[in-house]
């Protein structure tokens, strides 16, 4: 039995018998809105078709419910086993994430969405300029010297991290 009542017309379609995500409706702050899903779904299905290798059992759970479940874990920093019951079973969500991540699908999806956004803004699909920044993160005394350093300006021992983003961030 689902934890949250189903609003008419908002339930997802899951082919797995007995799965509670069959009656799921977007409820959590990490869930995709209908407008976001409208943009994401065609791109996600296109990426899946292009990069999916036909091995193993096909996915029977709803793609939107799976994406919402992965977003819930990432956004809230919970264990896979701590997924609420109105998502597909955690084992299926974890296997979905592992398959997608192993094939580079999240990066490909982000690249396609970035290009779509840039074209929508009237820009070239690929950025021609970027912004580079760095940050020193404090490290504990037990961190090996080989993997950390001393920043004389800030007078801290830590690790440096760098990022390069296009003008849109």
Q: How far is CA 120 from CA 10, 34, 40, 74, 124, in A?
A: 28, 19, 14, 28, 10
- Whether 3 shows a pLDDT value over 70: the answer reads no
Average pLDDT over the chain, rounded to an integer: 78
Tell me the pairing of strands 130-138 and 156-166: antiparallel
- Whether 8 shows a pLDDT value over 70: the answer reads no
Same domain, 76 and 150: no
- Cβ atoms < 10 Å from Cβ of 128: 8
List Cβ neighbours of 10 (8 Å cut-off, separation of 6 or more): 25, 26
- Whether 30 shows a pLDDT value over 80: the answer reads yes
Q: Total structural domains in the chain?
A: 2
Same domain, 162 and 116: no
pLDDT at residue 10 in the model: 44
pLDDT at residue 152 in the model: 81
52 assigned to some structural domain: yes
Q: Which of 17-21, 27-31, 80-84 has the lowest mean pLDDT?
A: 17-21
Q: How far is CA 138 from CA 38, 144, 147, 161, in A?
A: 41, 13, 12, 11
12 assigned to some structural domain: no
DSSP 8-state symbol, 31 = S
Q: How far is CA 77 from the centre of its chain?
A: 12
- Residue 116 belongs to domain spanning: 20-120
Q: Residue 28 has which token pair?
A: 């959590």
Same domain, 40 and 116: yes
> What is the crossing angle of helices 63-76 and 90-102, to 10°?
90
> What is the crossing angle of helices 105-120 and 34-51, to 10°?
130
- Whether 81 shows a pLDDT value over 90: the answer reads yes
Same domain, 90 and 35: yes
28 assigned to some structural domain: yes
93 assigned to some structural domain: yes
95 assigned to some structural domain: yes
User: At 169, is the pLDDT very low, low, confident or very high (cuts 50, 70, 90)?
Assistant: low
Residue that wins the pLDDT comparison between 70 and 43: 70
- Whether 50 shows a pLDDT value over 70: the answer reads no
Same domain, 53 and 113: yes
Same domain, 140 and 68: no
Same domain, 92 and 148: no
Same domain, 107 and 79: yes
User: At 16, is the pLDDT very low, low, confident or very high (cuts 50, 70, 90)?
Assistant: low
User: If you compute the radius of gyration of the chain from its CA atoms, what whole number of angstroms results?
Assistant: 20
9 assigned to some structural domain: no
DSSP 8-state symbol, 96 = H
106 assigned to some structural domain: yes
* pLDDT digit string, tens, across residues 131-145: 888 788 888 778 787
Same domain, 147 and 80: no
């Amino acid at each position: 039995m689902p934890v949250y009542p189903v609003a008419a017309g908002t339930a997802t379609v899951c082919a797995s018998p007995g799965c509670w995500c069959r009656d799921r409706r977007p409820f959590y702050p990490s869930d995709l809105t209908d407008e976001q899903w409208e943009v994401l779904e065609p791109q996600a299905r296109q990426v899946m078709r292009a990069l999916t290798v036909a091995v193993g059992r096909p996915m029977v759970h709803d793609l939107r419910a799976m994406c919402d479940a992965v977003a819930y874990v990432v956004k809230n920093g919970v264990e896979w086993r701590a997924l609420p019951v109105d998502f597909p079973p955690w084992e299926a969500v974890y296997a979905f994430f592992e398959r997608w991540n192993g094939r580079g699908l999240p990066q490909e999806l982000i690249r396609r969405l970035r290009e779509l956004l840039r074209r929508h803004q009237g820009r070239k699909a690929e950025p021609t300029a970027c912004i580079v920044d760095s940050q020193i993160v404090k490290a504990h005394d037990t961190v090996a010297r080989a993997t950390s350093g001393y920043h004389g300006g800030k007078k801290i021992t830590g690790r440096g991290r760098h990022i390069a983003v296009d003008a849109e961030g």
